[in-house]
Structure 1
Amino acid sequence: MLSEFTQHDLFVEYYEQWIRVYKEGAIRDVTLSKYYSTLSWVRTLMPHLQLKDVTRITYQQLINDYAKMHERQTVMDFHHQLKGAVLDAVDEGLIVRDPTRKVIIKGKTPAEKKIKYLNQFELHTLLKNLLLDKGVNWDWFILLVAKTGMRFSEALALTPKDFDFAHQVLSINKTWNYKGNGGYMPTKNKSSVRKIQIDWQTVMQFSALTKDLPEDEPIFIKKEDTYTPVYNSTVNGLLERYCKKLNLPVISIHGLRHTHASLLLFAGVSIASVARRLGHASMTTTQKTYLHIIQELESSDVDIIMRSMSNLT
């Protein structure tokens, strides 16, 4: 049942109803959970804040309190998840004027980033030690993510029908709801629906692996009475054991996606092509994610440019 709010009602109660009305059923479950996490923090930090008292100062104080325990990017996300509700409350006359105007985003100094990807030699070492002599297993999953850069949920949703072996193409058009009750879900965004080229060796391997499998059933998820639940910790655990055994930097399955993109960039593949292959919504996402690699490549480019210009005599 919807409540009619006045300026004397609590902001946290307004925000909770706003999420239910505007966000539930309209966004992915994983995104919705972030809104509810924000709600929980508002309830912790300012449980008694009334709508009439949401001013620039109180809103900035809320941001500052949250920033004491979170990095700047996380604080920015927190602000964006609140801002829509706040502006709607302004439109409804429950908050006098926009308190988010000129907000200052603070945050803790980012922790030192761990190595997120393997170099070409390290990846080669990993792949040659995978156990691929039996039927479908998680080693095959690791191989495919390394060769394609797919997201975990995208790879889980793959069926034999998604492979066009004749044209060396793999279609990515759905994800698997591994955080919920299983089943197919839409991709992360429209750009995530894509076709990517796969090398001939991968074609040969997966054509043999999938030839006797049901065309429309997920390759990596067992169907018994119901689909067996899958957790990324299972695959990450296997990958971690391989990395430790082979004396490689420990990375996650998502780290294989970073590895794939990094190797392409170092090989000279354009940012636009890498963005399309990964299913990024824009090249900006790719540039931000792989800024350190792009900067390293730009340093090498300077030498190439100087050599080229010095030959123009």
Structure 2
Amino acid sequence: MPVYKDDNAKKNPWYFAINYKENGKYKKMLRRGFKTKKEAEAAMVEAQNAHNKGTYIEPSKTSYSKFMDSWLEDKKTTVKGRTLEFYSFLVNRYIIPQIGEIELSKLSPRDIQSLYNKLKEEGNLSDENIRKVHTIINDSLNKAFRWEMIVKNPAALVDPPKVSKKEIEVWTEEEIQRFLSVAKDSRYYCAFLLALTTGMRQGEILGLRWKDIDEENRTLSIVQTLSHDGKELTTGAKTDSGNRRISIDENTLGKILKLKHRTKVETIANRPLYNDLGLVICTSVGTPLSPRNLNRSFDSIIQKADVRKIRFHDMRHTHASLLLKQGVNPKIVSERLGHANVRITLDTYSHLLPNLQKDTVDEFGKLFYKTQSN
């Protein structure tokens, strides 16, 4: 076996050398940088087989760091600004410092697995974000493979990091009433009401405009969202399935429409400063409401109402759980929430399903044995 060890090399000392024929001429291939003899032998056999089949790709000597610069640049055309910022943060803070200097063609499953192990041990990233790191690496190396820069994607051979499922916190009906009783005097009462009665995301609520409300049919159209930092209104929802129309009840619609009068009064009172963006939930001068300020108000009301502390997003979960407990078809719940498919809804709220099954079985039993007795 033409596999050798370079005793002068401090790291990755193993390499292989083979002769092959191309266009009627004999050439020599030398590949260095393998950690073990076994790795060098496996790579050599793979290269020989690829040459024999005529599918060999010249390995790219580009570093993974340099490749990721171009990958992030290309992502500008496919993801939203906030998502790109998050990708860049994970790449530059956690991925590049660990494996960025490795040549793209020499990146191994072991290198990638070691990165995940280190991130888990350090404890600076949640399980969800370590999984996101894997998603980024796998996507980038899939692209390198499609562009014929590498022979195979090493991330595809690594098990995705496990994500521990967190228990969802939801309010009881009694807690909802206590919270709303205190919240009714808040400027942002309707923001809380929309979260509980429609399951809309916070960014969707803060991006809602008057022209998105169909009073006659009692529906809200989700066509614009506010970013998490409150600095950007973006056309479209978080996902394609998030662009949806939600039906609302008469009481909720009536309470929202009462805000129109306040908006008109503030427009006149603050005319020189008022920036009319047509937002339903906004500041006294018409500008988008900062999510941070809304969350601060939310936490304050929770304390005054003496209810369990949950996140703003958990009101969305509360809405879904109430619907499921009422026996609403999960497909309808999925559509209201803007999930890509009903499987996401069922996975998210699976803890409710045993109780729902019990109710269903009890009703079935009553019908079945009533039929038998007849």
Q: TM-score, normalised by structure 2?
A: 0.72
Does 2:152 align with 1:97? yes
User: Per-residue CA shift, 1:160-219, capped at 9, x if unaligned?
Assistant: 222222322222222123536333432122322222221111222222221464796112
Q: Distance in 2 between matches of 1:275 and 1:196?
A: 11
1:10 maps to 63
Shift of 1:58: 2.2
Amino acid paired to 1:202 = T
Q: Distance in 1 between matches of 2:112 and 2:311?
A: 37
What does 1:1-313 correspond to in 2, within 5 Å? Answer: 7-20=60-73, 22-40=74-92, 41-68=94-121, 69=123, 70=125, 72-107=127-162, 110=164, 113=167, 116-132=169-185, 137-177=187-227, 179=229, 181-211=231-261, 213=263, 217-222=278-283, 224=285, 228=287, 230-313=289-372
Q: Distance in 1 between matches of 2:263 and 2:81?
A: 30
Shift of 1:111: 7.9
Q: Distance in 1 between matches of 2:343 and 2:101?
A: 40
Higher-RCO chain (CA-CA 8 Å, sequence separation at least 6): 1
Shift of 1:291: 1.4
Shift of 1:309: 2.8
CA RMSD of aligned residues (A): 2.7
Q: Distance in 2 between matches of 1:126 and 1:118?
A: 10
The count of corresponding residues between Structure 1 and Structure 2 is 301
Rg (Cα) greater in structure = 2
Are the counterparts in 2 of residues 54 and 95 from structure 1 also a CA contact under 8 Å?
Answer: no
Q: Distance in 1 between matches of 2:220 and 2:288?
A: 24
User: Per-residue CA shift, 1:110-155, capped at 9, x if unaligned?
Assistant: 3864x522111111111122234x8xx2122212222221111111
- Which 5+ residue runs of structure 1 have no aligned equivalent? none
User: Per-residue CA shift, 1:44-83, capped at 9, x if unaligned?
Assistant: 3224322232123323333333344355543332222111
- SS where residue 256 of structure 2 aligns? helix
Amino acid paired to 1:96 = V
Are the counterparts in 1 of residues 222 and 236 from structure 2 also a CA contact under 8 Å?
Answer: no
Are the counterparts in 1 of residues 259 and 280 from structure 2 also a CA contact under 8 Å?
Answer: no
Q: Distance in 2 between matches of 1:85 and 1:198?
A: 42
- Which 5+ residue runs of structure 2 have no aligned equivalent? 1-57, 265-275
Q: TM-score, normalised by structure 1?
A: 0.85
- SS where residue 220 of structure 2 aligns? strand
Q: Distance in 1 between matches of 2:166 and 2:245?
A: 35
- SS where residue 150 of structure 2 aligns? coil
Shift of 1:250: 0.7
Shift of 1:251: 1.4
